Structure 1
């Protein structure tokens, strides 16, 4: 009787380990026991195959869930319930029954499992979000094996049709009154088995590589904008189509502007003399131009002045939003003797009509208090 070693023990990690920890543990052990590094050592070769089998199971969320619940029995035909169920195919049974309604594979032919999609988070400045940018990113990703051209078979050999499913990738099982078609447990839907796997990729048809990709960020992107690079995700096993790479953009906080959609907001403190007499202020925009904002005489603090077309570009569209300047009137704190003298003269000439809102407020207060 063959002793089955726990997959987590093989990879020397806890059952609660996350996917990154499991991958790191596997890479460390794979380097240690790789046949090329231990030529002629049967124990190392056996250990390498065992940890590869363990990682193949635990890196797949569905396989891992089945293993956590049923252990090795989840991958043995007829195990678990006495009724001929193979728990490794429970998700495939669901897919075969409901897949047509959920966009899954149709028909009974051999299916290729597409590579996983990947996510990359990129931080950019608001000025880069305004004008767009062309940049490059470097990612670690699985790519087709150059040694076997992604086939998974050693050079000079070819994969053979699976004897269990006769190359169809699926088998049928009787379940009560129903005949359910599910993924073949021997070839996992590939329809082929590799007797002599490629030593570089261990029969997977893909290896880990570092890739540098060019990314074009269009003008007008916002926080959370997603850019899709088709086919730049994980390579599919044994020549299956690759997944996609999704780049999620995060825009850094700007020292001057705040953004709401295509509108840019900025606060501008002005002197009380400019607010009283009028004038203009210059605001440098993200477009590189200086926008002159006119201040009308008697402008109050909190007023918003709108500059049409001074905001962010419309993403994948035409035109630009507006720039809105919130006015804040600053009271002077450092006065010369002459300035203080002039202000004193101004106060002595006040009649109350200069600031109608102020005088009106105190008039209402006196009325409300009966005075």
Structure 2
């Protein structure tokens, strides 16, 4: 079971942005690879802290995590900081370390201040039916993404000698001061374009279409975003990382079923004779037709609850229910014989409304639905 992100940073849910950043810096400095050479557990703790900060420092991601937990980002293998490598972490959060480790970038797994370029993210929408959402689904989509052209080559940047940084010496009243900054030629990657095919752009990239398989877990909601790692645009250079594919979920409205969280609602209309005599009815559910039996004398407004026939919980805690709302349909036009029958029935005791104490009012039913 994955550890709670707040627990990883040693903070509670009420922590503000400043407290989250301060807690991450404390953990990152404690487990930094430069302070713990060869310590695999420290490396894992360092990555876990980066994952926690990546989510909790972003208001939108934090809100999703607070509502859905790890499933909001990692269900079905999507995203998550544990999939980040050291270069990802230093490129995204290196400024947090300040000068504690010689200017932000560690050189872990690479040389000096060199960092790995990362391609841009791509965003797509995927439409899902209630059936897709209830059972989980694998979608194959065609994505046009930038990739390195066949035959493209890169060479060491002459400006920074492949280090990704340039050193400057400044004379001050305190003496000679040395400072490092990102190389303006290669932008910190240590490489520049050498040879490129005619169809490639200035970075040596071309547009290619690829079919990407997306495993979508059961229980996702409209507007949720999932991440497929490394399926975004590629970046130039032999040591670069692709961006990610961000998948936005769009729920297609069902013809008969209305969704409310993990519960589903179905309006069932029956005739007056069916209400009086009782009847069995087939209704639509996400798993197919379900037969229910209506008792004799059922009242309009009655709500029947079918346990577990709703949408599965995204966190794996069972499924919601299917709520069947019974509506007795009153005919608007009667022939003479039918009208005579009901006029005679006005004098019958059986047709005089006599609600029992167990029959809840409309407001009580609404209250039950939301409680």
TM-score range, shorter chain: 0.5 to 0.7
- Aligned pairs (5 A) from 1:331-370: 331-350=330-349, 354-356=352-354
Give the structure with higher Rg (CA).
Answer: 1
Contact 2:157 2:185 in 1 (8 A): no
Distance 1:179 1:322, change over 3 A: farther
* TM-score after normalising by structure 2: 0.59
Distance 1:233 1:100, change over 3 A: farther
In 2: Cα distance, 1:95 partner to 1:126 partner: 39
Q: Helix, strand or coil for the counterpart of 1:130? A: helix
Distance 1:298 1:247, change over 3 A: same
Hey, what does 2:125 align to over in structure 1? Answer: 121
Hey, what does 2:329 align to over in structure 1? Answer: 330
1:237-273 per-position Cα deviation (integer Å, ceiling 9, x unaligned): 1131101111111011111001112211011112233
Contact 2:164 2:190 in 1 (8 A): yes
After TM superposition, give the deviation of residue 202 of structure 1 in Å.
4.9
After TM superposition, give the deviation of residue 197 of structure 1 in Å.
4.9
In 2: Cα distance, 1:283 partner to 1:314 partner: 22
Hey, what does 2:251 align to over in structure 1? Answer: 251
Hey, what does 1:169 align to over in structure 2? Answer: 164
In 2: Cα distance, 1:105 partner to 1:355 partner: 79
Distance 1:351 1:146, change over 3 A: closer
After TM superposition, give the deviation of residue 109 of structure 1 in Å.
2.1
Unaligned runs of 5+ in 1: 1-91, 153-158, 359-371
Contact 1:96 1:180 in 2 (8 A): no
In 1: Cα distance, 2:261 partner to 2:93 partner: 41
Contact 1:206 1:238 in 2 (8 A): no
Hey, what does 1:17 align to over in structure 2? Answer: none
Hey, what does 1:136 align to over in structure 2? Answer: 140
Contact 1:99 1:106 in 2 (8 A): no
In 1: Cα distance, 2:326 partner to 2:93 partner: 60
Hey, what does 1:292 align to over in structure 2? Answer: 291
Distance 1:133 1:112, change over 3 A: same
Q: Helix, strand or coil for the counterpart of 1:355? A: coil
In 2: Cα distance, 1:105 partner to 1:285 partner: 55
Q: Does 1:160 align with 2:156?
A: yes
After TM superposition, give the deviation of residue 185 of structure 1 in Å.
1.0
After TM superposition, give the deviation of residue 97 of structure 1 in Å.
4.3
- Aligned pairs (5 A) from 1:303-314: 303-314=302-313
After TM superposition, give the deviation of residue 337 of structure 1 in Å.
3.0
Hey, what does 1:192 align to over in structure 2? Answer: 191
After TM superposition, give the deviation of residue 199 of structure 1 in Å.
4.1
After TM superposition, give the deviation of residue 214 of structure 1 in Å.
2.3
Hey, what does 2:263 align to over in structure 1? Answer: 263
After TM superposition, give the deviation of residue 331 of structure 1 in Å.
1.0
Q: Helix, strand or coil for the counterpart of 2:309? A: coil
In 1: Cα distance, 2:98 partner to 2:308 partner: 49
After TM superposition, give the deviation of residue 191 of structure 1 in Å.
1.8
1:176-229 per-position Cα deviation (integer Å, ceiling 9, x unaligned): 887543211122212234455554435624221122222333333321233322
Unaligned runs of 5+ in 2: 1-89, 357-371
* TM-score after normalising by structure 1: 0.59
1:310-330 per-position Cα deviation (integer Å, ceiling 9, x unaligned): 112333626432100112221
Q: Does 1:147 align with 2:151?
A: yes
1:127-165 per-position Cα deviation (integer Å, ceiling 9, x unaligned): 2222333332112110122122xx34xxxxxx1342x32
- Aligned pairs (5 A) from 1:210-221: 210-221=209-220
Q: Helix, strand or coil for the counterpart of 2:308? A: coil
